[in-house]
């Protein structure tokens, strides 16, 4: 706000200028006015550098997205070539261009399910909104106008546009925005560590959650429920890995009541779990799939929704009657973004990125599993190159810290001080490094992570925050 004292006292610093001019997402804005930003000015491999020249290992691949790191010149070259050849064109009114066509073909060829068409958007949120709208549109086309409700899960994250934020099951993204809108429902969070009953096995927990989902569908009336949306691994909810047999049982319920399954692969797609898609890792059979982030290694904004033949045919037929399929964005299938996406898929294949990431993912899981014995850690969870440790006040009982203690926030600050960028999701400390991370860099990530946990433990003990 006007008159705010600039961080560091220099009114011309990048930090001070940011505070005066930029409205930041996912940020405590009053705290930001005095603390200021971490200003990143360049990237190299898995490292980024701030405006003072200090380097950090980017343990979150930016926002779960820079799979190829921060200095892949082949992507810069692909973007530059496309900028010179055709910097912009659109797909409205039956128009097209080669990069959008070729990327659609590549995605359909590598898809883990028999999808028929690809729709491009600009972000994961837009992809989820599109997937929801297509479910509604298709049900209207199929003569099922009441079948519109969307079921998501508590602690899910699907984005921040209207439909995506309504599907999101995290209160901070609803508060103050009058969300969720009507027609969005939330079923149980599949986190065994936090929500299982005493002595309940993973399979019994999964059965109970599937039964709860079925009961919800029946209460609402199956003829009004259009789709169930789920991340294979719940990223922003805390890197929550589904319990054994969970998706198997859930998919049986969906099939029984003719409820479409939207797989949100925005975080997990393109090698993150050790296979091309987490849909394969968890044996899912989705009706639609949403992609973003690593589709371009985040070098350009791009997302995609893949839909099956029956949905395409219903949409196409009704568009004939109505005269137009009335959905799209100016930048749908932007030629520079799709050209970069094509080059990313080429690099993934040519450099065996997924295969190498699968091997590195085994080492990642071995590294993070060692923290299971740490006095602060209640649970270690993850798959492939994504994982988290949840910090607890009492290791024996799993008692959480009082949120007011901000233990996760303190640990995050220690990570930053030790040259590692990770993410605190409450008191869960998430890691999701670039797929190109080397073995040595992976070791350094966990050295810095462990050092920060130890420093946090010292502080927690000094503050008397451990529960008896």
Helix (H, G, I), strand (E, B) or coil at 186: strand
Q: Calculate mean pLDDT across residues 400-410.
A: 97
Q: Which tens digits make up the pLDDT trace of 100-126?
A: 999 999 999 999 999 999 999 999 999
Q: Are 254 and 228 spatial neighbours (Cβ–Cβ below 8 Å)?
A: yes
Q: Are 278 and 242 spatial neighbours (Cβ–Cβ below 8 Å)?
A: no
User: Which pairing describes strands 55-58 and 47-50: parallel, antiparallel, or unpaired?
Assistant: antiparallel
User: Which pairing describes strands 288-291 and 260-264: parallel, antiparallel, or unpaired?
Assistant: parallel
The structure tokens listed for 21 are 């001019």
- At residue 8 the predicted structure's pLDDT band, cuts being 50, 70 and 90, is low
Give which of 273, 275, 300, 302 is closest to 290, Cα–Cα.
302
Q: Calculate mean pLDDT across residues 147-171.
A: 98
Q: Which tens digits make up the pLDDT trace of 20-52?
A: 999 999 999 999 999 999 999 999 999 999 999
Measure CA of the first residue to CA of the last residue in the chain; give whole Å.
44
Would you state the pLDDT for residue 383?
98
Would you state the pLDDT for residue 468?
81
Distance between CA atoms of 398 and 210, rounded to whole angstroms? 25
Distance between CA atoms of 225 and 217, rounded to whole angstroms? 7
Distance between CA atoms of 52 and 184, rounded to whole angstroms? 46
Q: Which tens digits make up the pLDDT trace of 241-296?
A: 999 999 999 999 999 999 999 999 999 999 999 999 999 999 999 999 999 999 99
Distance between CA atoms of 144 and 308, rounded to whole angstroms? 18
Q: Which tens digits make up the pLDDT trace of 298-324?
A: 999 999 999 999 999 999 999 999 999
Which residues, including other chains, have CB under 8 Å from residue 440's CB and lie 6 or more apart? none
Q: Before 180, cis peptide (omega within 30)?
A: yes
Q: Calculate mean pLDDT across residues 228-233.
A: 98
The structure tokens listed for 200 are 């309940």
pLDDT of residue 3 exceeding 50, the answer is no
Go through the domains of the chain in sequence order and give each one's CATH number.
38-71+353-463 (3.90.1150.10), 74-350 (3.40.640.10)
Q: Are 367 and 170 spatial neighbours (Cβ–Cβ below 8 Å)?
A: no
Distance between CA atoms of 187 and 170, rounded to whole angstroms? 12
Distance between CA atoms of 386 and 360, rounded to whole angstroms? 11
Q: How many CA atoms lie within 13 A of 361 on its CB side?
A: 21
Give which of 212, 271, 214, 205 is closest to 432, Cα–Cα.
271
Strands (E), 332-422: 377-383, 386-391, 420-421
Q: Calculate mean pLDDT across residues 215-241.
A: 98
Q: Which tens digits make up the pLDDT trace of 365-396?
A: 999 999 999 999 999 999 999 999 999 999 99
Q: Calculate mean pLDDT across residues 142-148.
A: 97
């Amino acid at each position: 706000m006007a008159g705010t004292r600039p961080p560091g006292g220099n009114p011309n610093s990048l930090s001070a200028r940011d505070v005066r001019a930029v409205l930041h997402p996912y940020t405590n804005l009053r705290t930001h006015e005095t603390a200021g930003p971490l200003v990143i000015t360049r990237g190299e491999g898995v490292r980024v550098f701030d405006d003072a020249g200090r380097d950090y290992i980017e343990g979150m691949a930016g926002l779960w997205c820079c799979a190829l790191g921060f200095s892949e010149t082949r992507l810069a070259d692909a973007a530059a070539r496309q900028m010179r050849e055709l910097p912009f064109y659109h797909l409205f009114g039956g128009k097209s261009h080669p990069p959008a066509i070729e990327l659609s073909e590549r995605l359909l060829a590598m898809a883990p399910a028999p999808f028929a068409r690809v729709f491009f958007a600009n972000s994961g949120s837009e992809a989820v909104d599109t997937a929801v709208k297509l479910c509604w549109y298709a049900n209207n086309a199929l003569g099922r106008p009441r079948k519109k409700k969307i079921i998501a899960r508590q602690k899910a994250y699907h984005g921040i546009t209207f439909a995506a934020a309504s599907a999101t099951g995290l209160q901070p993204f609803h508060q103050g925005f009058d969300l969720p809108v009507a027609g969005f429902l939330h079923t149980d969070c599949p986190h065994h560590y936090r929500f299982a009953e005493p002595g309940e096995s993973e399979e019994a927990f999964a059965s109970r959650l599937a039964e709860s989902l079925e009961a919800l569908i029946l209460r609402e009336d199956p003829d009004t429920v259009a789709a169930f949306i789920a991340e294979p691994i719940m990223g922003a909810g805390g890197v929550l890995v589904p319990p054994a047999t969970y998706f198997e049982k859930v998919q049986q319920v969906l099939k029984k009541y003719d409820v479409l399954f939207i797989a949100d692969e925005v975080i997990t797609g393109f090698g993150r779990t050790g296979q091309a898609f987490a849909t394969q890792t968890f044996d899912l059979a989705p009706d639609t799939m949403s992609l973003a982030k690593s589709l371009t290694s985040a070098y350009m904004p791009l997302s995609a929704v893949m839909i099956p033949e029956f949905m395409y045919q219903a949409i196409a037929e009704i568009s004939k009657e109505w005269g137009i399929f009335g959905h799209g964005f100016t930048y749908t299938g932007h030629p520079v973004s799709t050209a970069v996406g094509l080059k990313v898929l080429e690099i993934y294949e040519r450099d065996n990125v997924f295969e190498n990431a699968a091997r590195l993912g085994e080492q990642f899981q071995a590294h993070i599993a060692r923290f299971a014995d740490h006095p602060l850690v209640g649970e270690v969870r993850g798959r492939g190159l994504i994982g988290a440790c949840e910090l607890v006040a009492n290791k024996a009982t799993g008692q959480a810290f009082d949120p007011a203690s901000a233990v996760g926030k303190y640990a995050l600050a220690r990570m930053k001080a030790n040259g590692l960028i990770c993410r605190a999701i409450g008191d869960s400390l998430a890691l999701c490094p670039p797929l190109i991370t080397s073995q040595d860099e992976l070791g350094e990530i966990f050295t810095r992570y462990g050092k920060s946990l130890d420093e946090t433990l010292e502080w927690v003990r000094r503050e008397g925050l451990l529960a008896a």
